[in-house]
Amino acid sequence: MLQKILIANRGEIAVRVIRAARELGIKTVAVYSELDRNALHVRLADEAYALGGQTAAESYLNTEAILDAIRQSGADAVHPGYGFFSENADFARAITGMGVTWIGPPPEAIDEMGDKVSSRLAAQRGGAPIVPGTTEFAQGPDEIRDFGNAYGFPVCIKAAFGGGGRGMKVVQSADGVDDAMASAQREAKAFFGRDEVYVEKYLTWPRHVEVQIVGDQQGDVVWVSTRDCSAQRRHQKLIEEAPAPGLPDGVEDAMGEAAVKAAKAVGYYNAGTVEFIYQDGEFFFLEMNTRLQVEHPVTEVITGIDLVEWQIRVASGEPLPMTQEQVAARRYGHGIEIRINAEDPAGGKFLPSPGPITKLVPPDGFGVRFDSGYESGDEISQYYDNLVGKLIVWGRTRDIAIARTIRALDELVVEGVATTIPADLAILRHPDFVAVEHSTKWVEQNLDLSGVGSVSAAAPEADGEELVERTTTVEVNGKRFAVKMWVPPSTAVAAAAAPARQKRAAAGSGAAAGGSGQVTVPMQGTIVKILVEVGQQIELGQGIVVLEAMKMENQINAEKAGVVKEIKVATGDTVGGGDVVAIIE
Ligand code: ADP
Ligand code: ADP
Ligand code: MG
């Protein structure tokens, strides 16, 4: 068995892995950026090492710093979590090259499944149906137009190396192809460092159904459960459930078997997910995620199987603990996961809302689990994913699980940042969702979020004179040590109050923009594109700039019609919430 696992990640998934390792009696090592010096995953690990830097590129994607931490800590295994290096075959090879165990699939399988084009070929070889589309990189917009004209629009331009809904653009007609292709490439280049794209048919009312698989190094692969992740915005999941409800007889088993075939086609072991889209009784392979997924807990709660424990066991060479029949016999009841993101869903906009969490009270009670990377007082940084935590609920039936999830969401308190919770409640209470009549388009096309208010940032309370206990950290040769101190409460409160004030100011100037003709950005970020020129006549709602913040491109639109008088920013500029980027007369 492994002795010491370094978790090359942050947030809730690092916490999740630390907990599993601890239960197995394995020591844990955290790594952290400057902003995460005192983060929950760092507090929970047995040891922690500084990576330096703030952005993901400077810290959690800094190969040398992570390899150093592995050497210094003497860890004999690395768990990559999801995101960051989890699907990076070169990183996996660097780990195994040091004689350290990689808790993940073979690097060759990551390579083959990591690119959406070669994964489509692998799925086809294994005998799983794929979405109609090309199986080569597009050389230019003409190929995409030709495909659309032949198979019909809409089509979907996808970054071959994309993920998390990024680098994917839907095109409604031949006119939009050039812009969409450029935008997909720009996003892909920025996030994944590569900009190859291909095209596939865009289904108009599909469900997203995926299959969790786990394989061992002896060559055995089982599928553990299906999951439905159709409640999405911007092609990103909001709510997931297991099993996928309401499928015709035989479809679930057929998908499970197709997933196992796709996995075996690339010699897969460890945990992975095969994603399909499902429409009218048919299913098509979308991609394989060669890692643990955000929504893995819904599978855990309906089977009682700890998937991270299984990952650790098969990585250390043990065979799978159960056969396919034994796994199938364990499935019971229904699981629902709510991703709590720091985003304001008002009006269906889902605008990023980073900042300090002034108060966080997780729900509790029968069938309720809360996986989070934060506690009260922690900050959601604009540099990382905005996932605050995940609420996972089990119920004997889907209806019971829905009712219990609503109850738990009502109990959950998150203050200081806006969250997706109001949108989640609107989804769970909607008859279309209850009847499983929704699709991946449903949240954006059918769900009315106009009345959904954002949760306002609560003002921090001023405490009395008593000193409060604070834990601070010191670093000695890059290794972190925790030190306890007792300080006046004002010191602690002041730090939390500043960004909250900033946010209110930004919202205020945003509202004023409509009248004054000042176009402001609602949050901190980087200008990636300017869509207008000085002197240009523009309409109400026309796009002015593209702002990238929290791993997302946001188009900032004019709140008034007129002529562009001044553009105050250039491509590549960093702007703060409330900054004026253009003036319209
Ligand atoms: P899931 O597939 O479990 O729904 P997502 O696709 O939302 O998960 O991605 C999970 C995490 O991984 C997110 O933090 C996302 O930003 C990140 N991610 C996904 N694909 C990649 C990739 N190819 N490279 C880097 N990060 C990725
Ligand atoms: P990512 O790597 O970003 O997760 P996926 O290929 O898994 O990319 O697609 C993400 C989501 O986008 C899917 O869950 C689905 O909702 C939607 N989607 C992707 N491809 C198509 C398609 N061809 N037709 C309709 N919806 C699609
Ligand atoms: Mg996907």
308-323 per-position pLDDT tens digit: 999 999 999 999 999 9
Do 99 and 111 fall within a single domain? Answer: no
Q: What residue's CA is closest to ligand 1, atom 9?
A: 164
Residue 498: inside a domain: no
> Among candidates 161, 2, 194, which has minimal Cα distance to 79?
2
Checking if the pLDDT of 513 tops 90, the result is no
158 band by pLDDT with thresholds 50, 70 and 90: very high
Inform me whether the pLDDT recorded for 120 exceeds 50: yes
Tell me which residue has its CA closest to atom 12 in ligand 1: 83
Q: Which of 438, 455, 472 is the last residue of a domain?
A: 455
User: Which of 232, 237, 294, 295 has most ligand 1 atoms within 8 Å of CB, for mutation?
Assistant: 294
Distance CA 549, CA 342 (A): 12
Instruction: Give the span between the Cα atoms of 410 and 398, in whole angstroms.
Output: 18
Residue 527, pLDDT > 90, answer no
DSSP state of 58: T
Give the residue-averaged pLDDT of 99-126: 96
The CA 158 to ligand 2 mean position distance, Å, reads 9
Ligand 2 atom with least separation from CA of 237: 14
pTM equals: 0.82
- Whether residues 220 and 260 share a domain: the answer is yes
Q: Which of 300, 332, 364 is the last residue of a domain?
A: 332
Instruction: Decide the pairing of beta strands 270-279 and 236-242.
Output: unpaired
**Cβ of 114 below 6 Å from ligand 2:** no
Same domain membership, residue 346 and residue 312: no
pLDDT of residue 467: 73
User: Quick check: 512 pLDDT over 80?
Assistant: no
Q: Give domain status of residue 352, yes or no.
A: yes
Spacing, Cα 355 to ligand 2 middle (Å): 29
Residue 164 Cβ contacting ligand 1 at under 6 Å: yes
Q: Is 83 in the pocket of ligand 1 (CB under 6 A)?
A: yes
* pLDDT over 80 at 221, yes or no: yes
Give CA angle at 448 (447, 451), nearest 5°. 145
Is the minimum distance from the CB of 473 to ligand 1 under 6 angstroms? Answer: no
Question: What is the rounded distance in angstroms from the CA atom of residue 269 to the CA atom of residue 76?
Answer: 19
- Which of 98-112, 169-183, 512-526 is predicted least confidently? 512-526
Give the range of the structural domain holding residue 548, as residue numbers without chain letter: 518-584
128 lines ligand 2 (CB under 6 A): no
pLDDT tens digits, one per residue of 17-42: 999 999 999 999 999 999 999 999 99
User: Nearest residue CA, atom 18 of ligand 2?
Assistant: 235
Which ligand is nearest the CA of 209, by number?
2
The pLDDT mean for the chain works out to 90
The β-bridge partners of 538 are 562
Q: Is 289 in the pocket of ligand 1 (CB under 6 A)?
A: yes
Radius of gyration of the chain (CA): 24
What is the mean predicted confidence (pLDDT) over 201-226? 97
Which of 405, 432, 455 represents a domain boundary (last residue)?
455
In degrees and rounded to multiples of 5, residue 386 shows phi and psi of -95, 25
The ligand minimizing its distance to the Cα of 232 is 2
Residue 532 has pLDDT above 80, yes or no: yes
Q: Are residues 308 and 424 in the same domain?
A: no
DSSP E strand stretches across 33-81 = 47-50, 77-79
Question: Tokens at residue 77, please?
Answer: 């295994």
SS3 88: coil
**In terms of pLDDT, which residue wins out, 461 or 22?**
22
pLDDT tens digits, one per residue of 239-249: 999 999 999 99
Amino acid 522: pLDDT: 74
Give the atom of ligand 1 at the shortest distance from the alpha carbon of 161: 23
Q: Which residue, by CA, sits nearest to atom 23 of ligand 1?
A: 163
The encoded tokens of residue 303 equal: 């089977």
Residue nearest to atom 17 of ligand 1 (CA): 83
Supply the CATH number for residue 524's domain.
Answer: 2.40.50.100
Residue-wise DSSP of 174-192? GGGHHHHHHHHHHHHHHHH
Whether residues 115 and 36 fall in one domain: no
Q: Is the CB of 168 under 6 A from ligand 2?
A: yes
pLDDT at 387: 96
Same domain, 46 and 180: no
Res. 63: pLDDT tops 70: yes
- Any atom of ligand 1 within 6 Å of the Cβ of 356: no
What are the beta bridge partners of residue 213?
A: 223, 272
Residues 87 and 117 reside in one and the same domain: no
Which residue's C-alpha comes closest to atom 17 of ligand 2?
Answer: 235
Instruction: Looking at the structure, tell me whether residues 47 and 149 fall in a common domain.
Output: no
What is the number of the ligand 1 atom nearest to the C-alpha of 296? Answer: 3
Query: Is there a domain that residue 494 lies in?
Result: no
477 within a domain of the structure (yes/no): no
pLDDT at position 462, please? Answer: 41
Domain for residue 501, yes or no?
A: no
**pLDDT tier for residue 164 given thresholds of 50, 70 and 90:** confident
Ligand closest in space to the Cα of 231: 2
Atom of ligand 2 nearest to the CA of 289: 2
> Ligand 2 in contact with 287 (CB < 6 A)?
yes
Asked whether 293 lines ligand 1 (CB < 6 A), one says: yes
In terms of Cβ atoms closer than 10 Å to its own Cβ (0-12, 13-18, 19+), residue 542 is middle
Instruction: Please name the residue that has the structure tokens 């939009």.
Output: 176
Bridge partners for 169 per DSSP:
157
Distance 350 CA to ligand 3 centre (A): 19
Region of poorest pLDDT, from 152-166, 286-300, 414-428, 517-531: 517-531
Say whether pLDDT at 501 is over 60: no
Cβ atoms of 23 and 309 closer than 8 Å: yes
Can you tell me the mean pLDDT for 394-406?
98
144 vs 140: CA distance, rounded Å: 7
Q: Which atom of ligand 2 is nearest to the CA of 168?
A: 3
Residue 240 alpha carbon, nearest atom of ligand 1: 4
- Nearest to 189, CA basis, from 523, 575, 553, 544: 553
**Nearest Cα to Cα of residue 233 among 391, 379, 368, 426:** 426
Nearest CA owner, ligand 2 atom 12: 235
Same structural domain for residues 450 and 522?
no
Which SS3 state, helix, strand or coil, does residue 162 take?
Answer: strand
The per-residue pLDDT for 359 is 97
Secondary structure class of 463 (helix, strand, coil): coil
Nearest CA to ligand 2 atom 21: 202
* DSSP3 helix / strand / coil % (the chain, rounded to 5): 30, 30, 35
Ligand nearest to the CA of 82: 1
Q: State how many domains the chain has.
A: 5
Which ligand minimizes its atom distance to the CA of 192? 1
Q: Which two tokens stand for residue 89?
A: 């075959």
* Best of 12, 13, 55, 82 for a ligand 1 pocket test (most atoms within 8 Å of beta carbon): 82
**Which atom of ligand 1 lies at the shortest distance from residue 164's CA?**
6
- Check if 164 has its Cβ closer than 6 Å to any atom of ligand 2: yes
Beta bridge partners of 7: 30, 79
- Residue 294 near ligand 1, beta carbon < 6 Å: yes
Ligand 3 centre to CA of 253 (Å) is: 21
Are 126 and 242 contained in the same domain? Answer: yes
- Please give the distance, rounded to the nearest whole angstrom, from the Cα atom of residue 123 to the centre of ligand 2: 16
Tell how strand 368-372 and strand 574-575 pair up.
Answer: unpaired
Residues 415 and 457 sit within 8 Å (Cβ to Cβ) = yes
pLDDT for residue 542 = 80
Q: What is the CATH number of the domain that holds 402?
A: 3.30.470.20
Residue scoring higher pLDDT (15 or 558): 15
For residue 116, the ligand 2 atom closest to its alpha carbon is: 6
The enclosing domain of 174 has a CATH number of 3.30.1490.20
Whether 24 and 309 have beta carbons less than 8 Å apart is answered as yes
Whether ligand 1 lies within 6 angstroms of the CB of 105 is answered as no
pLDDT per position as a tens digit, 368-377:
999 999 999 9
Question: CB–CB of 342/417 below 8 Å?
Answer: yes
Where residue 112 falls (left for φ over 0; alpha for ψ -120 to 50; beta otherwise) is: alpha
Which residue out of 235, 237, 294 has the highest number of ligand 2 atoms within 8 Å of its CB and is therefore the one to mutate? Answer: 235
Pair (21, 57) in one structural domain = yes
**Ligand 2: which atom is nearest the Cα of residue 202?**
24
Regarding whether 226 and 195 lie in a shared domain, the answer is no
Ligand 2, residue 165: give the atom nearest the CA: 3
